[in-house]
Amino acid sequence: MRFDRRKFVQLLGAVSADLGLAGSPASVSEAQPTPGRPPAAHAIDRSATIHRKNVVAIQVKPFCWVDEGVDKVLDTIEEKGNVNTVFVYTYDYDGSHITRGGTKPLPDHGRYSPDRQRMGGAFYDYDLKYFQDTTLRDFRSHDEPNLNVITAVSPSMKARGMQFFAWDYNNAFPVMMQSIPGLTEVAEIDVYGRRTSGACFNHPNFRAHLTGKIESYLSQYPSEVDGIIWGCERMGPIDNLIGGGWATAGICCFCSFCCAKAQARGVSVARAREGYIQLDRLFQTAAHQQRPSDGYFVAFLRTLFEYPEILSWNMLWHDSYHEVRSELYGTAKSIAPSKPFGFHVMQNITFSPFYSAADSYAKLSHYSDFLKIATYNNAAGPRLANFIHRLCQTGTVALTRNRARCVQVMGVKPSRYHNCS
Ligand SMILES: [Zn+2]
């Protein structure tokens, strides 16, 4: 059964109005990057969400259920961690798994996975009626064709009093472009006109793909799925230029949808393009230690002053990212208002001033029932060190390409940095 579109639009309007974003599409099929604020709409009744008390959650990859068996995994996490909620990967293109001598040396994993290449995809069966507004319909994983992780795991969890949350993990793994027919057509276009490995959040076809998954979880599996955790570790063009981990290649996005959205905001596409090419040149010179006559930081600031469109384009990307997430939240609430819908927040928000300035908790709070913030061991350690190292390489923050100075500008205690580098 299709959900109520009118109610969906109302929910989208409410969320977007709270965010102060550009107008949300009236429907997925009508989605256009139109300007202006949406009309006043009914507010979402956040009190309808029913939260479990004292949630102890863990995320579990698909191969774990296959390697060890459903009950063995549930026994372990229940006994060792008192877990009462599982974020079950239902959509994931991360090919890594547990092999002897592999990249994930987890000694307490019960059995090694079969040593073969994995492609990822959806680890559940979805009804195509939820994907009528998109051509991106063929994404069922062939790694475990007989595993429907929702029907295979949820009943055993329910018998134990545990809750099943669909973990919809949307990182832009390049393999997705090879394995999802049509995905290249919605790819972000970089400043030089090249297609990249990430899909564009402003492309209606991709948005309908994302929305369809939320519909399928909640409408097709109403008694098995208790909530949704959604994540996508991606960043805007400035963060991708800086790099330092989790960056995707390409200064994006300059596709026709993004350019139209920029023009509607009064941002010059030509000036933004010119500015990012200048910035890219500056970063290239820093990488080759060709110091500008006024120094790296002055040159960086001067480029921003001369091309404020650089900042506008970066916010265009992040506003679009907020907009997509608020739409997914609105979709979920129109189907199952009592079920919690939360977001994974990538580790960069804990150490990158550029990322946290754009993807603020304040904005996230308008459309989230809960947040899962990546604060685990190597997010606070090696990744922070990598990020600072990269800042020094680019000369973005380091006034003199001096690492100690850079650490101070970042607001990080030098002792903390030295402990993790
Ligand atoms: Zn785009």
pLDDT in tens, 77-118: 999 999 999 999 999 998 888 887 777 777 777 788 887 788
Separation CA 332–CA 313 (nearest Å): 29
Ligand 1 centroid to Cα of residue 3, in Å, is 27
Q: Which residues of 140-179 are buried (b: 16+ CB within 10 A; e: fewer)?
A: ebebbeebbbbebbbeebeeeebbbbbbbbbbbbebbbeb
The DSSP string of 270-322 is: HHHHHHHHHHHHHHHHHHTT---TT-HHHHHHHHHHH-THHHHHHHHHHHHHH
For ligand 1, the distance from its centroid to the CA atom of residue 263, given in whole angstroms, is 13
CA of 183 to the centre of ligand 1 (A): 13
Residue 385, token pair as written in the block? 């060190």
Residue found by looking up tokens 């959509």 in the block = 91
Tell which wins on pLDDT, 24 or 387.
Answer: 387
Residue 194 Cα to ligand 1 middle (Å): 12
Q: Give CA separation, 347 vs 51, 232, 382, in Å.
A: 25, 11, 11
Q: Ligand 1 center to residue 314 CA distance, Å?
A: 12
Predicted local distance difference test score (pLDDT) of residue 5: 52
Q: For residues 135 and 182, is the Cβ–Cβ distance under 8 A?
A: yes
Question: Are the beta carbons of 57 and 83 closer than 8 angstroms?
Answer: yes
3 state SS of 413: coil
Residue 201 alpha carbon to ligand 1 centre in Å? 7
CA 40 / ligand 1 centre spacing (Å): 27
Mean pLDDT, all residues of the chain: 84
CB of 197 closer than 8 Å to CB of 253: no
Q: How far does residue 94's CA lie from ligand 1's centre (Å)?
A: 23
| pLDDT tens track for 50-80 | 999 999 999 999 999 999 999 999 999 999 9
Amino acid at position 77, single letter? I
CA 298 to centroid of ligand 1, rounded, Å: 30
For Cα atoms 86, 3, 318, give the angle at the middle one, nearest 5 degrees: 65
Nearest to 344 by CA among 165, 202, 128: 165
Which residues, chain by chain, have CB under 5 Å from ion ligand 1? 200, 202, 253, 255, 257-258
CA of 146 to the centre of ligand 1 (A): 36
Residue 361 CA, ligand 1 centroid: distance in Å:
24
Residue range 294-298: average pLDDT?
84
Kindly state the percentage of the chain with pLDDT values over 90. 58
Q: 205 alpha carbon to ligand 1 midpoint, in Å?
A: 11
Task: Compute the distance between CA of residue 385 and CA of residue 37 in angstroms, rounded to an integer.
Answer: 40
Centre of ligand 1 to C-alpha 202, Å, is 5
Question: pLDDT band at residue 30, thresholds of 50, 70 and 90?
Answer: very low
Find the range with the poorest average confidence among 32-41, 199-208, 258-267, 351-360.
32-41
Q: Is pLDDT above 50 for 29? A: no
